[in-house]
Chain A
Amino acid sequence: MSAEQLKGHLDPLVLAILEQGPAHGYAIIESLRSRSDGVFDLPEGTIYPALHRLERSGAVTSRREVVGGRERRVYQLSARGSTALRQRRADWRLFATAVSDVLGLSPS
């Protein structure tokens, strides 16, 4: 799946990964790849504008931390981010159900 297709959905995906616990950019992109079985194989750098955007909106916070002998910026889901993720999940459920109904993919 191309980065362009994924762009509008990247923010909730990142929030969902951070729900598991704090992580740095490289770990987030690795997790995104492995949890999607390699379907979301987007350029790794695209994660950073999304992380910066989420941080500005207050959905995630970040701090510098030494990870594996390297100083890295680690991102963490905030309370606002948790709320946003719940909302995006509800929106997605509604959207996916509607698309499935229209495409005739719903189990009936």
Chain B
Amino acid sequence: MNEIERYLADLSSRLRVGRRHRARILAEVHDHLGAAAAHREACGEPPEAAVGHAIGDFGPAPMMATQFNAAAGARAMRRAPCVAAAAGIAVCGGFLVAATSQPRTGVSGAASLATQLVFLAATIAGQVALVAGICTASRTASLWRAPTVPGEHRAFVRRSGLICAVALGVAALGWSSALLLTARRTAQRDLSTLIPGVAVMIVAAAASIGATYHLRVNPDDDDVVVPSRPDVLGLPEQAIGVVRRHPVLSCLAVAPLAGLATMSHAETTVLGALPWGLAEVGAVALAFVVLGPALDLRRDQRRTRAAGVRSPGH
């Protein structure tokens, strides 16, 4: 193995990119080093020294791998919201196919309390998926035109995308279970649409978890940040910034609205719907406390204090 091959093997072992991209990078680097060494030899350098200098001028393999990995990570990051959106559409489509073709009794009409609770939990998981998906899309959009993306943002997009996918999976499982349990108690069920609808929901959610988990965003390979001008794609992130600056106020505003929306969908009296509304309010508040830091909707105060870092705007 000559020196160029050793360099290529070292570079290849450090690259975290797709197979085709890796092959292209290695071919280009091989061509470049060959041309540079030949040029030096033509200028009178001994062959071994020419190869050594060509490799030295090209740059150390770890540094080059970092640059390629960062670029590939930025591309992988941009796929995350697309995966989340496709999975969300497929799960909602599957749910509509499975649910709307069933006899119009409503879930609460034919379902036991346990089934209704499962349905509520699934709906809350669906809401978490929606919020996480918005956070994923918003951050990606704000960095869409940036030539390079810092590793922390790539890590955030993968994390929020994964939360979205897992929540969507929980929602798909919950809605499927609720629909199947309800159908078991209903005589005029339509299995020809129920089963495919449920299958679409489960498969889409599972595929979304797998695809997001395997996204190579390479957060440890940080590149030099090239500033980009703020544009219209950054507006959603600015809106989320308002929530980040006023977390308690935002939670207090959203939780009752979500509770009222849930109550309006419950097929019972206002008093009967009240527990569902309160459960929704509690779930929103709990999700905000538990998932808020991971989705960057609020700062983790304990960690911030421990790190001795002051929140922005203070």
Inter-chain contact B28/A8, CB cutoff 8 Å: no
Given A7-B226, A8-B227, CB of A25 within 8 Å of CB of B32: yes
8 Å CB contact of A43 from B28, B57, B68 = B57
Inter-chain contact A8/B31, CB cutoff 8 Å: no
User: What's the minimum C-beta distance from A57 to chain B, rounded to whole angstroms?
Assistant: 8
Q: Is B71 an interface residue (CB 8 A)?
A: yes
Inter-chain contact B71/A49, CB cutoff 8 Å: yes
Inter-chain contact B59/A26, CB cutoff 8 Å: no
Q: Is A80 an interface residue (CB 8 A)?
A: no
8 Å CB contact of B35 from A26, A46, A49, A53 = A26
> Count of chain B residues with Cβ under 8 Å from any Cβ of A?
27
Given A43-B57, A56-B75, CB of A24 within 8 Å of CB of B226: no
Inter-chain contact A45/B224, CB cutoff 8 Å: no
Given A7-B224, A53-B71, CB of A45 within 8 Å of CB of B35: no
User: What's the minimum C-beta distance from B90 to chain A, rounded to whole angstroms?
Assistant: 27
Inter-chain contact A44/B32, CB cutoff 8 Å: yes
User: What's the minimum C-beta distance from A13 to chain B, rounded to whole angstroms?
Assistant: 13
Contacts of A70 in B (CB 8 A): 31, 34-35
Instruction: Report the separation of the CA atoms of residues A81 and B82 in the bound assembly, to the nearest whole angstrom.
Output: 27
Main secondary structure of the interface of A (DSSP, over half): helix
Instruction: Give A52's nearest chain B residue, CB to CB.
Output: B71
- Give the contacts of B52-70 with A (CB-CB under 8 A): 57-60, 63-64, 67-68, 70
Q: Is B25 an interface residue (CB 8 A)?
A: yes
Q: Is B147 an interface residue (CB 8 A)?
A: yes
Given A26-B35, A53-B147, A71-B31, CB of A46 within 8 Å of CB of B67: yes
- Give the contacts of B15-48 with A (CB-CB under 8 A): 24-25, 27-29, 31-32, 34-36, 39
Q: Is A37 an interface residue (CB 8 A)?
A: no
Q: Is A92 an interface residue (CB 8 A)?
A: no
Instruction: Report the separation of the CA atoms of residues A11 and B25 in the bound assembly, to the nearest whole angstrom.
Output: 18
User: What's the minimum C-beta distance from B25 to chain A, rounded to whole angstroms?
Assistant: 7
Contacts of A25 in B (CB 8 A): 28, 31-32
Given A49-B71, A52-B71, A56-B75, CB of A43 within 8 Å of CB of B35: no
The 6 closest A-B pairs by CB, nearest first: A43-B59, A45-B59, A7-B224, A49-B67, A45-B64, A45-B58
A residues at B contact (CB < 8 Å):
4, 7-8, 11, 24-26, 43-46, 48-49, 52-53, 56, 68, 70-73
Please name 16 pairs of A and B residues whose Cβ atoms are closer than 8 Å in the assembled complex, sorted by A: A11-B147, A25-B28, A25-B32, A26-B35, A43-B58, A43-B59, A44-B36, A44-B57, A44-B59, A45-B64, A46-B64, A48-B29, A49-B223, A72-B31, A73-B28, A73-B31
